[in-house]
Structure 1
């Protein structure tokens, strides 16, 4: 894998500082430093302590990641919304799991992406899911096609700078059209469901009521943190479980799975330095409801 950036600053800067400003994590920098790749300035191999001058190009070269033999290859359908040398944006249908687990070892998004890359003849066959969705949540998720991309976007993930918006249909009526739920979430040992608890991890969900009917509402939601089941737990704790959510007390007579869809995704591409934004239309089951 090879990537190049041009330094546009006014004063000389060390390679490490420049790459950190672009988002590169310490682990990847140290791997390249220890011989698992190369740094090049003006197409010449240089030491990691080299300073870059204004307007000079910096290139990194990293060997491809070998495939993980424990991840099976699947050639089942994969709806690709966007693809370039570093990223895949996938529109996942409800019912498909994001990654393999003890009960589902094949057919997941990860298995399908591996099959997609293998079919393309890619040298990098160890994709990294940057965002994940519950099995019965549909919509957009982001995949890094190699570990350099995964490292370069890690700061955006950790600092919650990626935009992730969802559409949900929930029970009940809302007194206000907008609100923020800031309640910590924890998983108790032996339980599948998460709960609100003082000793949990911070979780913040913002919502806007876009359609209010007598006994249900359609919401637009934005995640400011990324906890497992966060939207489902937060809304259920307020007496507004998602329609069809079997785990958190949703109405199962009106939908056979939770009506939750990842409808909007945006992030700063650390390679092109451009903001990329994607949207996904609501699945048919929302329209039927």
Structure 2
């Protein structure tokens, strides 16, 4: 159980994250949108914020883009970090994301598969090559008012993978500063790491967390859809 001291410290860093779960091996946090993962330009990122709040060294085993909110898993020791990294490498950890777009997709569900290649201005693009292969499964549902929510299961973990995948089907993420239209007035980039499932040392874990910021994540259509979907792992995902 967390001490009152740590609870207070976590509240102090609420602009960076909220704590979802903690045990002797790892923590699970809900990262806020528009927060750097690692420290940059003299400002510390969410990992350092979590270390300061909990008063312990933490080890990253995966990451989220600055604009993306949601679940991050952080190990408490190099040994657990190595185990979790292996699970990610073996694709034994399942991650599920949410995104909202204001553009109708070329297809409502399916698979986006292609090579990831650096483009201009820090962007990435999909190619027909198999180098740096990215595989993304998705469903989409209408929220009304021209909006669609995407339920996403990435099979790989490439930089900007989901953002590029949705752009490729004609539905860039609302508020995405790189892949959406420049002239938009959204209050955040609408991509959120919603759920993570894995087994570690014989114990099964499943965590999910709702986005804490973003007016589109509070609209009636979104809330209704997420309540209807339930556990993302139980969906009949498109075949890879």
TM-score band w.r.t. shorter chain: 0.7 to 0.9
In the alignment, the residues of structure 2 paired with residue 176 and residue 117 of structure 1 have an alpha-carbon distance, to the nearest angstrom, of 44
Partner of 1:152: 83
1:212 Cα deviation from its structure 2 partner: 5.0
Partner of 2:211: 282
In the alignment, the residues of structure 2 paired with residue 147 and residue 80 of structure 1 have an alpha-carbon distance, to the nearest angstrom, of 21
Please give the per-residue CA displacement for 1:22-73, whole angstroms capped at 9, x wherever unaligned.
Answer: xxxxxxxxxxxxxxxxxxxxxxxxxxxxxxxxxxxxxxxxxxxxxxxxxxxx
Alignment of 1:105-120 (within 5 A): 105-118=42-55
Change beyond 3 A, Cα 1:169–1:148: same
Change beyond 3 A, Cα 1:175–1:192: closer
In the alignment, the residues of structure 2 paired with residue 141 and residue 112 of structure 1 have an alpha-carbon distance, to the nearest angstrom, of 13
Equivalent of residue 204 in structure 1, options 135, 149, 165: 135
Alignment of 1:184-203 (within 5 A): 184-188=115-119, 191-197=121-127, 198=129, 200-203=131-134
1:230 Cα deviation from its structure 2 partner: 0.5
1:186 Cα deviation from its structure 2 partner: 1.6
TM-score, normalised via structure 2 length: 0.77
In the alignment, the residues of structure 2 paired with residue 217 and residue 251 of structure 1 have an alpha-carbon distance, to the nearest angstrom, of 19
Structure showing greater Rg: 1
What RMSD in Å do the two structures reach over aligned CA positions? 2.1
In the alignment, the residues of structure 2 paired with residue 174 and residue 238 of structure 1 have an alpha-carbon distance, to the nearest angstrom, of 5
TM-score, normalised via structure 1 length: 0.65
In the alignment, the residues of structure 1 paired with residue 188 and residue 98 of structure 2 have an alpha-carbon distance, to the nearest angstrom, of 14
Equivalent of residue 253 in structure 1, options 176, 179, 184: 184
Change beyond 3 A, Cα 1:163–1:173: same
Partner of 2:234: none
In the alignment, the residues of structure 1 paired with residue 210 and residue 187 of structure 2 have an alpha-carbon distance, to the nearest angstrom, of 20
Task: Please state whether the residue corresponding to 1:210 is helix, strand or coil.
Answer: strand
Any unmatched runs of 5+ in structure 1? Answer: 1-74
Partner of 2:231: none
Please give the per-residue CA displacement for 1:156-214, whole angstroms capped at 9, x wherever unaligned.
Answer: 111222111111001322464421101111224x7411112336410011101133536
Change beyond 3 A, Cα 1:167–1:251: farther
* 1:264 and 1:279 in contact (8 A); partners too: yes
In the alignment, the residues of structure 2 paired with residue 252 and residue 200 of structure 1 have an alpha-carbon distance, to the nearest angstrom, of 33
For these two proteins, the number of residue pairs brought into alignment is 204
Greater length-normalized contact order (CA 8 Å, ≥ 6 residues apart): 2
Equivalent of residue 168 in structure 1, options 88, 93, 99: 99
* 1:178 and 1:208 in contact (8 A); partners too: yes
* 2:71 and 2:209 in contact (8 A); partners too: yes
